[in-house]
Amino acid sequence: MAETQRTARLEIDGKTLDLPIYSPTAGPDVIDIRNLYSEGNVFTYDPGFTSTAACDSSITFIDGARGELLHRGYPIDQLAEKSHYLEVCYLLLYGKLPNADQIEDFENRVTTHTMLHEQMVNFFRGFRRDAHPMAIMVGVVGAMSAFYHDSTDINDPWQREVASIRLIAKMPTIAAWAYKYSTGQPFVYPRNDLDYASNFLRMCFSVPTEDYQVNPILSRAMDRIFILHADHEQNASTSTVRLASSSGANPLACIAAGIACLWGPSHGGANQACLEMLEEIGEVDRIPAFITRAKDRNDPFRLMGFGHRVYKNLDPRAKVMKQSADEVLGLLGVEKNKKLQVAKELERIALEDDYFAEKKLFPNVDFYSGVILEAMGFNTSMFTPIFALSRTVGWISQWKEMIEDPAMKIGRPRQLYSGNTRRDYVDVEDR
């Protein structure tokens, strides 16, 4: 962040405050209001944080107007095409692309930590069979802090590193076992001779009664989906992890908080909601009625997978996901997939509609992902767990950056109070 001599002058009841302005390496300038209350005795008011920079970060940058997403400066479309998920994990965690030795060592450390403590199997068995896999992930990841005591001291750099590798390594196993538990099939253990995406697919879809060969088309598509969901600035779940971690709580419990936040249909739960919406629409000729509902302010219905707080142009991840949907479904011989046809027609109609143009509503990362995941064999309840698995590296990288920042303070927002002012207690017989 570049210090500038520029200031923003604020006049409040005859008092003048000059607030420093900082220029970032990219994006809008920021006004430093840290002394506003102490010097001006006022708060700012920004529910939903539409205009608030909550931290100084160098991991991910989004240009919402241009529809650009950079991870440590590298564009997401180049990473999706040329990189692979564990290399993107290294980039997000350590700030640079690894050389051959570094990526081999990193992949080996992740690969050799994919197993869960065997006693943790009991946590899965405590859930009802019809429990949503996200409920299982919240519970099991939170329970990790009761098992892995040697990676919960956030002030020990080595323990922070161990926690980071453990979470990235074990999340696919937890997600796959949550899926297997919901199907009544036995858990499948990870294998060290498979790459990250292939391991996850095998843990989800193989059964003891026959050999399972990973389809390289699905493995590449899975890895690309992991990359597209890896990190995304200070979104709701990442902000949850940062705020929870700012109290010094252990990272395993804080990641569980992030999973809980991601589950909401306005956030990571939108991929499941979007596919269910496409199923409800069913046919292309039913689209106009749903568009009408989405535009009706009195109707709570929204086009799931559309709109974004930051992107006011096409989400670059949606662009890559749409290309991947065509490629994967074509290679799987299901290019005539009805939901994909409805999705494409829905996008075309919406983008020609003034309502969506005026509000700058475009497809986001969740619009096409569900079509691919369903074609790969996942049921809708696994869509958000896959998002959570992918985003774990983003949560951990942002957590690491915050813990290592000497200026870190516990997060404690204030409020605009609109409740009762002081009044005396009234005995029940006098009410």
Minimum CB distance to ligand SDX, residue 217 (Å): 25
Nearer to ligand SDX, 244 or 303 (CB): 303
Residue 368 CA neighbour count, 13 Å, CB half? 27
388, two tokens: 């959570």
Pairing of strands 2-12, 15-23: antiparallel
Q: CA 153, CA 248: separation in Å to the nearest integer?
A: 9
Site membership for ligand SDX, residue 385 (CB under 6 A)? no
Radius of gyration of the chain (CA): 23
Query: How many angstroms separate the Cα of 53 from the Cα of each of 10, 235, 405?
Result: 19, 11, 16
Q: Which of 79, 259, 365, 376 binds ligand SDX (CB under 6 A)?
A: 365
Instruction: Give min distance, CB of 102 to ligand SDX, in A.
Output: 27
Copy the structure tokens of residue 146. 């009761």
Name the H helices within 43-195.
76-82, 85-94, 100-111, 121-125, 133-144, 157-183
Structure tokens at 274: 């979007």
* Residues of span 85-114 touching ligand SDX by CB under 6 A: none
308 is catalytic: yes
Contact stretch for ligand SDX (CB under 6 A) within 162-170, 183-191, 362-370, 414-422: 362-370
Contact 192, 146 (CB under 8 A): no
Q: How far is the CB of 258 from ligand SDX (least distance, A)?
A: 10
Q: C-alpha angle with apex 196: 189 to 311, nearest 5 degrees?
A: 130
Return the number of the residue (145 or 364) whose C-beta is nearest ligand SDX: 364
Yes or no: say if 258 and 238 are a contact pair by the CB < 8 Å rule.
Answer: yes
What is the footprint of ligand SDX within residues 178-237 (CB under 6 A)?
232, 235
Residue tagged active-site, from 223, 231, 315, 366: 366
Please report, as residue ranges, which positions from 228 to 247 form the binding site for ligand SDX (by CB under 6 A).
232, 235
Q: Does 134 bind ligand SDX (CB under 6 A)?
A: no
Minimum separation from the CB atom of position 347 to ligand SDX (A): 12
Q: For the segment 270-309, give every residue that binds ligand SDX (CB under 6 A).
A: 270, 294, 297, 302-309
Residue of 24, 77, 189, 267 interacting with ligand SDX (CB under 6 A): 267
Q: Is 130 a catalytic residue?
A: no
- Per-residue binding string, ligand SDX, 303-342, x by CB under 6 A, is xxxxxxxx--------------------------------
Of residues 41 and 266, the one with the C-beta less far from ligand SDX: 266
The one catalytic residue among 71, 84, 308, 315 = 308
Minimum CB distance to ligand SDX, residue 179 (Å): 21
- The residue (of 190 and 385) whose beta carbon lies closer to ligand SDX is 385
361 binds ligand SDX (CB under 6 A): yes
The DSSP line for 20-77 is EEEE-SSS--EE--TTHHHHH------TT-TT-------SEEEETTTTEEEETTEEHH
Q: Name the minimum Å distance from CB 227 to ligand SDX.
A: 12
**Angle value at C-alpha 229, between 264 and 101, nearest 5 degrees:** 145
3-class state of residue 148 by DSSP: coil
Q: What are the residue numbers of the active site?
A: 308, 366
- Give the footprint of ligand SDX on this chain (CB under 6 A): 232, 235, 266-268, 270, 294, 297, 302-310, 359, 361, 364-366
